[in-house]
């Protein structure tokens, strides 16, 4: 009987020690959660800061452009200035959605195709760049806008130059 009482006492002591250990582990977990939240906040602030710095760098680069827009061909403006603007994040998402619409692109830039085509499957990128007759209508190199990949229309004509330059100037 005494032996059983001693065993029971030992079990109670062991349980008590395990409960203490468990409480200490729970406190450590809570502390790790607090640290993780702090790190997440710092990471968000860092990303916001980098995005702001990138925007400033892009605007400075645009302002320091040595060649005047009137001297550039429209295709060069589309591949450089337009792409740089779209990738900078300064164009609102609602406008990006509009740029995928053929009617908007026709009215805004006098293009016969949507300015942007979203790439949903990288394997079908070559097909997306072609029209119904199989002719390439988009630049081969995709661009990234707010984490999504797009093809940019390559069918530019001189008659659209003023509209494109004016539109770029809005943003």
Digit-coded pLDDT (tens) for 6-51: 888 888 889 889 999 999 999 999 999 999 999 888 888 777 766 6
Query: What is the phi/psi pair of residue 169, to 5°?
Result: -65, -25
Question: What is this structure's pTM?
Answer: 0.59
Q: Tell me the percentage of the chain whose pLDDT exceeds 70.
A: 87
Query: Would you call 104 exposed, middle or buried from its count of C-beta atoms within 10 A (0-12, 13-18, 19+)?
Result: middle
Q: Rounded to whole angstroms, how far apart are CA atoms 88 and 111? A: 23
Mean pLDDT, residues 61-77 taken together: 71
Give me the pLDDT at residue 102, please: 96
Nearest alpha-carbon partner for 149 in 127, 130, 125: 125
Collapsed DSSP state (helix, strand, coil) of residue 121: coil
Residue 82, pLDDT score = 96
Distance of CA 99 to the CA centre of its chain: 17
């Amino acid at each position: 009987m005494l032996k059983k009482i001693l065993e029971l006492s030992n079990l109670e002591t062991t349980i008590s020690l395990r409960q203490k250990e468990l409480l200490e582990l729970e406190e450590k977990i809570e502390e790790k959660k607090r640290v993780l939240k702090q790190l997440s906040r710092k990471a968000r602030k860092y990303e916001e800061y980098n995005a702001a710095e990138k925007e400033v760098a892009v605007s400075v680069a645009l302002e320091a452009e040595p060649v005047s827009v009137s001297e550039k061909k429209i295709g060069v403006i589309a591949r450089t200035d337009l792409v740089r603007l779209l990738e900078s994040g300064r164009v609102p998402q609602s406008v990006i959605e509009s740029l995928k619409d053929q009617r908007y692109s026709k009215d805004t830039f006098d293009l016969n195709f949507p300015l942007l085509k979203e790439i949903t499957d990288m394997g079908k990128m070559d097909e997306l760049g072609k029209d119904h007759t199989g002719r390439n209508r988009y630049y081969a190199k995709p661009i990234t806008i707010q984490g999504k990949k797009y093809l940019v229309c390559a069918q530019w004509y001189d008659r659209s130059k003023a509209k494109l330059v004016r539109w770029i100037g809005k943003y």
